[in-house]
């Protein structure tokens, strides 16, 4: 009989705990469903979380507890009512809160898939759509403050919430590089490599007739074309985002070099080429690697291979110019930039880089002129250097003028051109351009 009484008491205790859990879960669910919870409701929510934590025993209840805990920042955002500011978002979405949110979403989805009972799954998908842009904006704000590690962590959490959006993983890796956290960047790049991510896509733009401003329609060509047909937008423009594979493999190689793993870096590039033989961006990566490694024989071989494969690829040729300029091979760089302009007479970046290449020589001339004294010999040398400087400015002039013609909104190029006009005493052109700034 005594044993029986003990059993009954135990059963009653379990029953009380179960009812308690149901009460807390009901309270949490009610507040969770509020569109704009009040401060007192947020306090009740946290109190019920604490109560549930002490009594949750069953796996389903633990999963619910974990989910309700992880989404608390979303309730904080909702309680603001209006659109939260960047400062408010940064305060609410701490790195830990974002990581917990991603973890809570994923563990809940995994449990519901395993159990076959969908309670939160549909809501999670809706909330991911809602919260992801906020996380991306928060990451961008941290990036502007040069808090690159925070940006990387946020974007990685955003990727974990929605692994179909691999672009967030790509930018998480990029920010990790900026933060000089090369181990983390390498992990992300290896994951991108395993996913065979390229980032290749088409972006769509059109000019709003009301504001006269060009607007971005992301990858939504249908919507853009519909607005153009309706007559509210004009001047549709498509922009292709080229493959990022070359950059990813290049960064893997560079990080491995940074870690002193030269052989692994070289092998990483060779493996990438084997896997993607038609990706010309990888040829550029390989050429750049050999050049930095001062392996000029292999550099020449790969460059010739690239040009034989695609002799009129302006981007390929332009990138060869960038590589050459970065390695102080100015004659080669000039040749490649001019070849790119032959292929496309409106290739803005080639004009810009040609001008920059020529202006590098100006710095050397100025440095020499500053060191001269006032003797006759020095005065003669000054005149010679000044003549070279003027000749250099005259050579730069058409490239800058073409750049301003192609992109008149680029004030930085205008200011550089103003300096050249002033040096060449082209007063009328200087005044006309100055008026446009």
Q: Mean pLDDT throughout 49-64?
A: 83
Q: Mean pLDDT throughout 201-219?
A: 87
Tens-digit pLDDT profile for residues 144-191: 999 999 999 999 988 988 888 999 999 999 999 999 999 999 999 999
Q: How much of the chain exceeds pLDDT 90, in percent?
A: 28
Rounded to the nearest integer, the mean pLDDT of the chain is 85
Residue 115, helix vs strand vs coil: helix
Q: Which two tokens stand for residue 130?
A: 């809602």
The CA distance from 32 to 26, in Å, is 10
Long-range interactions of 13-20: CB distance < 8 A, separation 24+: 17/55, 17/57, 20/51, 20/55
Residue 1 has pLDDT above 60, yes or no: no
Residue 7 has pLDDT above 70, yes or no: no
Pick from 58, 48, 55: nearest CA to 25: 48
Confidence of residue 253 (pLDDT cuts 50, 70, 90): confident
Contacts of 258 (CB under 8 A, 6+ apart): 182
Alpha-carbon dihedral of residues 397, 402, 403, 407, nearest 10 degrees? 150
Pick from 347, 334, 360: nearest CA to 407: 347
Q: Worst-scoring range by mean pLDDT, 11-20, 59-68, 404-413?
A: 11-20
Residue 21 has pLDDT above 60, yes or no: no
Q: Which two tokens stand for residue 284?
A: 């550029």
| Per-residue pLDDT, 227 | 92
| Per-residue pLDDT, 13 | 39
Tens-digit pLDDT profile for residues 323-372: 888 888 889 999 999 999 999 999 999 999 999 998 887 777 778 888 87
Contacts of 259 (CB under 8 A, 6+ apart): 182
Tens-digit pLDDT profile for residues 110-135: 988 898 888 888 888 888 888 888 88
Confidence of residue 44 (pLDDT cuts 50, 70, 90): very high
Q: Worst-scoring range by mean pLDDT, 88-97, 308-317, 382-391?
A: 88-97
Highest mean predicted confidence (pLDDT) among 33-37, 232-236, 239-243, 287-291? 232-236
Residue 347, helix vs strand vs coil: coil
Other beta carbons less than 10 A from residue 307's beta carbon: 17
| Per-residue pLDDT, 3 | 41
* H, E, C per residue of 146-195: CCHHHHHHHHHHHHHHCCCCCHHHHHHHHHHHHCCCHHHHHHHHHHHHHC
Residue 63 has pLDDT above 60, yes or no: yes
211 vs 364 pLDDT, higher one: 211
The CA distance from 100 to 153, in Å, is 12
Q: Which two tokens stand for residue 285?
A: 């990566």
| Per-residue pLDDT, 42 | 92
Assessment of whether the complete model's pTM goes beyond 0.85: no
| Per-residue pLDDT, 397 | 92
The CA distance from 61 to 14, in Å, is 14
Other beta carbons less than 10 A from residue 112's beta carbon: 19
């Amino acid at each position: 009989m005594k044993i029986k009484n003990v059993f009954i008491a135990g059963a009653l205790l379990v029953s009380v705990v179960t009812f308690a859990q149901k009460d807390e879960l009901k309270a949490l669910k009610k507040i969770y469903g509020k569109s704009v919870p009040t401060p007192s409701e947020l306090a009740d929510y946290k109190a019920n979380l604490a109560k549930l934590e002490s009594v949750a025993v069953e796996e389903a209840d633990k999963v619910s507890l974990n989910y309700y805990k992880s989404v608390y920042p979303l309730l904080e955002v909702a309680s603001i009512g209006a659109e939260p500011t960047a400062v408010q978002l940064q305060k609410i979405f701490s790195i830990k809160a974002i990581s917990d949110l991603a973890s809570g979403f994923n563990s809940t989805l995994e449990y519901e898939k395993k159990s076959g009972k969908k309670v939160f799954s549909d809501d999670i998908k809706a909330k991911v759509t809602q919260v992801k842009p906020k996380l991306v904006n928060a990451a961008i704000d941290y990036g502007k403050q040069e808090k690159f590690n925070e940006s990387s962590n946020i974007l990685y959490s955003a990727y974990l919430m929605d692994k179909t959006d691999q672009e967030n993983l790509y930018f998480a890796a990029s920010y990790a590089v900026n933060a000089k956290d090369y181990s983390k960047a390498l992990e992300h790049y290896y994951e991108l490599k395993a996913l065979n991510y390229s980032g290749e896509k088409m972006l769509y733009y059109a000019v709003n007739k009301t504001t006269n401003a060009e607007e971005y329609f992301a990858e939504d060509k249908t919507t853009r074309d519909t607005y153009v047909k309706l007559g509210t937008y004009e001047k549709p423009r498509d922009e292709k985002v080229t493959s990022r594979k070359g950059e990813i493999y290049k960064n893997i190689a560079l990080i491995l070099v940074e870690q002193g793993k030269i052989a692994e870096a070289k092998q990483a590039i060779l493996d990438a080429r084997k896997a993607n033989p038609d990706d010309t961006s990888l040829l550029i990566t390989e050429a750049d690697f050999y050049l930095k490694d001062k392996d000029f024989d292999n550099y020449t071989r790969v460059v010739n291979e690239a040009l034989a494969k695609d002799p009129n690829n302006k981007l390929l040729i332009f990138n060869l110019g960038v590589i050459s300029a970065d390695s102080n091979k100015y004659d080669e760089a000039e040749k490649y930039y001019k070849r790119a302009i032959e292929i496309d007479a409106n290739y803005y970046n080639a004009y810009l880089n040609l001008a920059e290449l020529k202006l590098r020589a100006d710095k050397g001339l100025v440095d020499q002129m500053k060191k001269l004294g006032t003797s006759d010999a020095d005065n003669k040398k000054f005149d010679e250097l000044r003549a070279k400087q003027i000749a250099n400015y005259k050579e730069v002039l058409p490239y800058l003028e073409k750049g301003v013609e192609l992109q008149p909104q680029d004030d930085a190029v205008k200011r550089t051109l103003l300096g050249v006009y002033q040096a060449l005493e082209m007063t009328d052109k200087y005044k006309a351009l100055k008026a446009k700034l």
